[in-house]
Amino acid sequence: MDKMVLRRMEYYGYHGVFDEERKLGQRFYVDLELELDLQEAGTTDDLNKTVNYAEIHELIKQIVERKSFKLIEALAEYIASSVLGTYTRVDALTVKVTKPHPPFDIHFEGVTVEIRRTRKRDGH
C-alpha cells in the first residue's frame, strides 16, 4: 500500500488532565501516516485522485486547537476517526500525538502516543 506522511505538524491546544493545561494550553505535534492508493494520482497528476494534505492539516488544526481532551490518547482517536470519516480514499492510518513538555517535575523530552486504525470495509 502506498503512503502519504505528514510529519511534525505543530499546533497549540488545551489538552491535559491538569486544569492549568486546559486553561493555559501548550504545544502539540501530530504525525500522520495515511495508507491509500496513490497510483492514479501519480499517473494522472490529478489532485482529485488523492487526498489534499493542506485540507487534512486544516482538519487536524481545527481538532487540536478547538477541542479539549484530558488524554492525548483521546485526541489521537478523534483525529483518526475524523480523517477516516472525511477521506474515503484512506484505507488505514497511523496517528502520533506528542506532548513535548508535559507538566511533570521530571525532565524528559516528551510523551507520545501512536495508534493505527483501518477502515472497515463491507464484506472484508
pLDDT digits (tens, 9 = 90+) for 65-112: 999 999 999 999 999 999 999 999 999 999 999 999 877 677 777 899
60 contacts 30 by C-beta, under 8 angstroms: yes
Look up residue 63 and give its three cell numbers.
Answer: 481538532
99 contacts 18 by C-beta, under 8 angstroms: no
Is the whole-model pTM more than 0.85?
A: yes
For domain 3-118, give its CATH number from 3.30.1130.10, 3.60.15.10, 1.25.40.80, 3.40.50.720.
3.30.1130.10
* Domain map (residue ranges) of the chain: 3-118
State the catalytic residues: 99
